């Protein structure tokens, strides 16, 4: 049974931990508002951009003159997985869920006889995946020194991916990130970015009413690289909001657990102290009676 001093030291230690988790929760809450606003403001642009690109892609179809980024290499033997996670931990299962989805996708591809390559963005994803897939790593993007993610960071990642595609290092690229829903829910996503894949919007028929100058192939050749950067930037913003939301939720749970532990330790401390006082009183009374 721990002594009174041990219990008191443990209570003080848990109280210090609670102060830290409470402070981290407040910091995450402050950062979450800015990150959530950035992610939500980027969604309409991304959705409209994808809608325009979908119309252009539908008008081009599978013609031989279509850009390579749209029609691909004609093969799907080599896959590049771009796994985006956070640089820091203490955010619950945020990073683990993204890595889990990427790992499951990699296992499916390997089972189908495909070659898998991995490019990580964020230290936590690299640390988890390197334990099992170190031989598949082709690169890592470190954003530790970046205080606030901007479009320039997404452009840098996109240039790296596009350069690898032009060099013939892979046939298909898939982006892994988490979409921010709310503080409690962040949904892992797998989005194919090369060859470009656009969801049907129901407006494809309206694209035939437009005459493009220059032609669709030329426009796509210019916009598709920007589309890759836009999708990566959108993923970074969603990840930023998801990370802060997950950290806020995790630190709130940690603060609550620390409070419950302090209550239990305090009860145990009081009971032990009461037992010590009772024993001392018994000894005093016994001694007095012996006299």
Q: Is 201 a catalytic residue?
A: no
Q: Helix or strand or coil: residue 137?
A: strand
Question: What interhelical angle do 4-60 and 216-290 show, nearest 10?
Answer: 170
Q: Residues 54, 91: contact at Cβ < 8 Å? A: no
Select which of 91, 154, 173, 262 is catalytic: 91
The phi, psi pair for 188, rounded to 5°, reads -65, 140
- Which residues are paired to 44 by β-bridges? none
Q: Helix or strand or coil: residue 251?
A: helix
Q: What is the largest CA-CA distance in the chain?
A: 114
Output the CA–CA distances (angstroms, integers) from residue 242 to 36, 81, 147, 250, 282, in the order listed.
8, 20, 16, 12, 60
Q: Which residues are catalytic?
A: 91
């Amino acid at each position: 049974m721990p002594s009174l001093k041990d219990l008191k030291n443990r209570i003080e230690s848990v109280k210090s931990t609670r102060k830290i988790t409470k402070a981290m929760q407040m910091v995450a809450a402050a950062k979450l508002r800015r990150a959530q606003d950035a992610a939500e403001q980027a969604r309409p642009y991304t959705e409209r951009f994808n809608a325009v690109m979908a119309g252009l892609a539908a008008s081009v179809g599978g013609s031989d003159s279509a850009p390579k980024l749209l029609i691909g290499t004609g093969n799907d033997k080599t896959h590049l997985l771009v796994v985006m996670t956070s640089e820091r931990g203490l955010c619950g299962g945020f990073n683990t869920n993204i890595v889990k989805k990427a790992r499951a996708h990699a296992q499916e591809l390997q089972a189908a006889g495909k070659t898998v390559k991995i490019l990580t963005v964020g230290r936590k994803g690299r640390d988890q995946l390197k334990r099992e897939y170190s031989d598949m790593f082709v690169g890592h993007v470190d954003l530790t020194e970046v205080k606030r993610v901007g479009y320039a960071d997404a452009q840098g990642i996109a240039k790296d991916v596009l350069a690898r595609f032009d060099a013939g290092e892979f046939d298909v690229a898939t982006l892994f990130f988490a979409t921010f829903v709310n503080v409690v829910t962040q949904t892992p996503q797998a989005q194919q970015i090369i060859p470009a894949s656009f969801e049907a919007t129901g407006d494809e028929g309206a694209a035939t009413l437009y005459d493009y100058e220059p032609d669709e192939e030329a426009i796509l050749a210019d916009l598709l690289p920007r589309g890759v950067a836009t999708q990566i930037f959108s993923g970074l913003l969603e990840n930023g909001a998801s990370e802060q939301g997950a950290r806020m939720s995790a630190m709130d749970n940690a603060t609550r657990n620390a409070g419950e532990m302090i209550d239990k330790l305090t009860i145990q401390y009081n009971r032990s102290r009461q037992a010590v006082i009772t024993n001392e009183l018994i000894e005093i009374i016994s001694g007095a009676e012996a006299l």
